[in-house]
Amino acid sequence: MPRFALKIEYDGAPFAGWQAQADQPTVQGAIESALAKLDPGFAAGARIAAAGRTDAGVHATGQVAHADLLRDWDPFRLSEALNWHLKPAPVVVLAAARVDDDFHARFSARERRYTFRLISRRAPMTHELGNVWQVLSPLDLGAMQQGAQHLIGLHDFTTFRSSICQAKSPVKSIDQITIQEIPVPHGTEYRFHLRARSFLHNQVRSIVGTLERVGAGSWHPDRVAEALAACNRAACGPVCPPQGLYLSGVGYPRDPFEDPAARGDGPTGG
């Protein structure tokens, strides 16, 4: 039974998150419905597995899932067929690749990368509505960068995880937090990039919401360290809304999409 890795992009706005639910539209459900049109195993109820389960309203530009199919497809043709059957849902397969049977989208992953987009401007959003978190006043980039440094490394992140988080331990290691400041028409965009092997439920949104308070001047950067040390959810800043959050990439010991032979060549120009 051939196994395929899928690199997936989606707009999370119309979905109740990634994970399939019987009575709600989900990203997983949309992809499995498309696969059911192509493969008898999925028509009979087979499931896909993903690197991470995003919440309602959260987007992805680099989600990874794997599927075991009864038919051995050319990877490029598989991605094209899936994209045809995914219409008009805002979900696309960016690439498909044939992988070994021991590849697992979740358990083989060595890192997850998230990006959070925040825009400060007075005028309401139009084109980016639903894709960013908007605040009205500019933020202090340097203060946010200073506050973020307290969160790098191995820590007990009880303060920065949801009360319904199902992880066995609140101890996680954040490898990197970088913040970009990008001019946009009549405002500024701040992009928060976070990288870690794995994240707790609501951890990224809790961190960005806290750093926004630092950037707004409501918190001193050192208060982030105090909140972390408190190991108390009540010490966290506000949890920011989901629409600015993107699962931007998943890292593996070997990138399954790098090998042209594994992913299919597709059409070429002459």
- Residues with catalytic function: 55
Q: Are 50 and 250 in contact (CB under 8 A)?
A: no
How many Cβ atoms sit within 10 Å of the Cβ of residue 30? 20
| Calpha distance 41→139 (Å, rounded) | 51
Length of the chain: 270
Are the CB atoms for 167 and 200 separated by under 8 Å? yes
Strand partners of residue 26: none
- Residue 175: what residue type? D
DSSP letter for 214, please.
H
- Residue 262 CA to residue 101 CA, distance in Å, equals 13
Helix spans in the chain (H): 27-36, 40-43, 75-86, 141-149, 203-215, 222-230, 260-263
**188 contacts 163 by C-beta, under 8 angstroms:** no
